[in-house]
Structure 1
Amino acid sequence: MEDVDIVEDFQPRGKSAPSGRTTRVQDPKLRVAIEHRALDVALDYYRRIGGRDPKELGKAYDLAVNVDGVERHCEVKGSSMLIDCVELTINEVAHGSRRDNVDLIVVDGIEASRDRSTGEILASGGSMRIWTNWTPEKEALTARRFSSTLPLSCD
């Protein structure tokens, strides 16, 4: 299997990504619209269960929210496709591995459309799945990139 992201720019709603493959939105405006929609769905979920004082962060995790006196950290992933695999940064993996009260929320099947006259992208819908008290499982992680220090001299 080729280790390449599936480009999901304006894929038909409900299309499934190949199993085990991550997706990547190339269009920066579309990527932001999908991310914001996923965050909106996550924030709505926390409000419904009595979450208070939500803070959007973006580094190491996306949201912090107080639920029943406990600060929960939430990693939010969004996609226009139906996905079974997400891309995680090393910071997201480290944070989820060392901290309690971390939730992973995936909102997939988000519908996006571009207004032809303004170019604005509108995102709506999506189905939410949540893994409460999530810890990344080592056997579920696949290395996709490496950093290599260059030798001091070259030939």
Structure 2
Amino acid sequence: MAIYTWWASDPHQRFWMEITDRDDLGADLFAPTADGSGRPYWGYELITYVQPGDVIVHWHKTLAGEPGIVGWSQATGFYEETDISWQAHGTVGRRAGSLEPRPAWRMPLLNFTPLARPVLISEVRAWEPELRKVLAQLEVQYPDGRLYFPFGFSDRRELRAQQTYFVKMPREVLEILALEDLGDVTGPKPGATSTERKSAKRGGSGYIADSAVRSAIEWRAVNLAIEAYEALDYEVEYTGSTKPYDLVVTKRDEIRRVEVKGSSGAAKTVELTYGEVDNSRDWQPTDLVVVDGIQWWRELDGSVQADGGEIRWWKNWTAEASRLQEIRFRYKLPPSGWSGK
């Protein structure tokens, strides 16, 4: 799909809008690389045109009691190629969609800031004449393609947010919505253009990029766990590189093993290896420490950094069988197979 980058020549047009009902608002932009029929779709692909430092306003469908803009975040680093379990919303999407993992794009976000006063749909509708005027002016100024405007107009129903995931937010619309102060947010650092980033991605390794992100998140979680135990006067030894647990913490005669897990969102589950499960059952006391909400970003040199996070703690933890769910299997191949020759 050819995206019409009407904003490319104007550095002031660095705003976007996510339309969602997700719980982890401001964690990232996350969408499949194609629609349910496997075709490119602009409401997803626009993610790949976001530049580091761009501002994303978040339109949430329920958080403020009615749909509206409830906060904003900033893009950081470059988008990642990964997988997502995704099902489109709406009657048709639920019927045709699938929860099978699909290729996806993920753009990390930082600095989620809730609006003290959300901009609700009832207010936006009151500004419909001004919004229609802005759209008409932009269509004259940029006549060669789609504008990906954040709102849809109809003579048969009231104004509403576009029925998609991600749209372009013209700065002129922010001014109408009394959000012009977002224009003062520090701009992006100089870096690769969208075209350069997309070209580089074609030859890159998504697995290596994801591995670097996972490592940054895991080390951030481990470091926070170490700080937390040291604050409780434990001596701490890192064992994660050689043992099926991350830390051994000691205070006088007390010796505890600690399993640490990190997440960029609000973790409802964690992945455990057989060794981690067996350790929790064979050795007590063992603790489980989960660090949620870790923020990560990719520097211009490609390195991944992580910060933030909130600790949750399960003391004297055992991996109960009733809470475990098998999600992977190791299959032993038969002794011979067709080589294709």
**What TM-score, normalized by structure 1, do the two folds share?**
0.78
- Counterparts of 1:21-40 in structure 2, within 5 Å, are 27-40=210-223
Deviation at 1:108, TM superposition (A): 1.1
Deviation at 1:99, TM superposition (A): 1.0
Give the equivalent residue in structure 1 for 2:240.
Answer: 57
C-alpha separation in 2, matches of 1:69 and 1:134: 19
Question: What is the CA deviation profile of residues 50-97 of structure 1, one whole-angstrom value per residue up to 9, with x for unaligned ones?
Answer: 111423333311111113421111110001111110000011001101
Give the equivalent residue in structure 2 for 1:135.
Answer: 318
Deviation at 1:3, TM superposition (A): 6.9
CA contact under 8 A between 2:229 and 2:236: conserved in structure 1? no
Give the equivalent residue in structure 2 for 1:87.
Answer: 271
Amino acid across the alignment from 1:89: T
Aligned-residue sequence identity (percent) comes to 36
Give the equivalent residue in structure 1 for 2:298.
Answer: 114
Change (3 A) 1:153 1:105: same
Deviation at 1:134, TM superposition (A): 0.3
C-alpha separation in 2, matches of 1:88 and 1:101: 18
Larger RCO of the pair (alpha carbons < 8 Å, separation 6+): 1
Change (3 A) 1:8 1:144: farther
Q: Which range moved further: 141-150 or 35-44?
A: 141-150
Gaps of 5+ in 1: 15-24
Change (3 A) 1:153 1:132: same
Change (3 A) 1:127 1:84: same
Q: How many residues align?
A: 144
Deviation at 1:9, TM superposition (A): 5.2
Deviation at 1:109, TM superposition (A): 0.2
CA contact under 8 A between 1:9 and 1:26: conserved in structure 2? no
Deviation at 1:145, TM superposition (A): 2.0
Give the equivalent residue in structure 2 for 1:144.
Answer: 327
Give the equivalent residue in structure 1 for 2:230.
Answer: 47
C-alpha separation in 1, matches of 2:310 and 2:215: 18
**What TM-score, normalized by structure 2, do the two folds share?**
0.38
RMSD: 2.9
Give the equivalent residue in structure 2 for 1:66.
Answer: 250
Deviation at 1:148, TM superposition (A): 3.9
Amino acid across the alignment from 1:140: R
SS at match of 2:309: strand
